Amino acid sequence: MRITLTHPFDLSPSEARDVQRLLRVQVEEAPPLRPEKVRLVLGTDVSYLRTDRLALAAAVCCSVPELSVVEQRASEGPLRFPYVPGLLSFRELPALIPALQAMECEPDVILADGQGVAHPYGIGLASHLGLIAGRPTIGCAKSVLVGEYEEPGPVRGDWTPLMYLGRRVGAALRTRTGVKPIFLSVGHRIDLESAIQVTLALTRGYRLPEPQRLAHLACEQLKRAHRANQVTGRSEPLLA
DNA sequence: GCGACAG
DNA sequence: ATCTTGTCGC
């Protein structure tokens, strides 16, 4: 898939903040996404080998509704940017971009670990990713960055809106009965209702939607392989 | 000044 | 997220 970069990533936190100011106006709203048009969904995740200041990324494309893996890519990159709440995309996207560029699939929706517009400046990781990928994205986080919400009902599918500055920026969604809710956030070119429906359709027996869970597992594998290579003294590229 | 704070 | 051991519950 094609990635369009309109700004550099080797920035200082304050420069990154300036970039967000310019990018936020490009995040688009969108009419309901027709569920039957969603045939491919991409899950993404990034993990770190803190000791090596290295970031490992994985992207897994799944078919819908089967949720079978269609394509899987991985990439890595040096960890240059610090973790600063609100600037996560500048820390994680650089490592993930090569994997996205290598992806042959053309996903209809992309899931990202983090927030979308439920962000202090309206441009969290998911929204930022949506802009450079030019596709609909959904922020899929395990906790909240900004906003308020009421505890959703106890059954799978129950949800409550995540409100921020008087806007509905996401939702606390119970993806499984009996587990803590996950926090969806509108990313780019998608509406909240569609994001909720799509996410539920992608969730099977785990708290996180399948593409996200698989991307996370892939990252764990990458880490293990990486450590193993280090011990063996080898340094071959991993996974396609 | 204090507390909160995606991953 | 990462660093870490055991432990409570379905």
Residue A124 near residue A114, CB atoms below 8 Å:
yes
Whether A123 maps to a domain, the answer reads: yes
Residue A132 near residue A144, CB atoms below 8 Å:
no
Which pLDDT does position A229 carry in this prediction?
A: 78
- The range of the structural domain enclosing residue A68 comes to 22-231
Spacing of A23 CA from C6 C1' in Å: 46
Whether A216 maps to a domain, the answer reads: yes
What's A156's domain CATH number?
A: 3.30.2170.10
Which pLDDT does position A233 carry in this prediction?
A: 63
Q: What is the mean pLDDT of each run of 10 residues along chain A (240 residues)?
A: 98 98 96 91 96 93 97 97 97 98 98 98 98 98 97 96 98 96 98 97 96 97 87 58
Whether A238 maps to a domain, the answer reads: no
Residue A114 near residue A83, CB atoms below 8 Å:
no
Instruction: Please identify which residue in the block is written with the tokens 């899987």.
Output: A72
Q: Which nucleotides of B are covered by protein (CB under 7 A)?
A: 5-7
Whether A120 maps to a domain, the answer reads: yes
Please, which residues bridge with residue A173 across strands? A159, A182
Pairing mode of beta strands A159-164, A69-78: unpaired
Quick one: CA dihedral A230, A61, A135, A199, positive or negative? negative
The residue type of A222 is L
> How many domains is chain A built from?
1
- Provide CB contacts within 8 A for A236, sequence distance 6+: A229
User: Does the CB of A2 fall within 7 Å of any strand C atom?
Assistant: no
Whether A5 maps to a domain, the answer reads: no
Whether A15 maps to a domain, the answer reads: no
Whether A10 maps to a domain, the answer reads: no
Spacing of A206 CA from C7 C1' in Å: 22
DSSP label at A104?
-
Residues 179-208 of A with CB under 7 A from strand C: none
User: Does the CB of A143 fall within 7 Å of any strand C atom?
Assistant: no
CA distance A73 to A54: 17
User: Does the CB of A113 fall within 7 Å of any strand B atom?
Assistant: yes
Q: Return the closest nucleotide (C1') to the Cα of A91.
A: B7
Which pLDDT does position A228 carry in this prediction?
A: 80
Which pLDDT does position A232 carry in this prediction?
A: 63
Whether A126 maps to a domain, the answer reads: yes
Q: Which nucleotides of C are covered by protein (CB under 7 A)?
A: 1-3
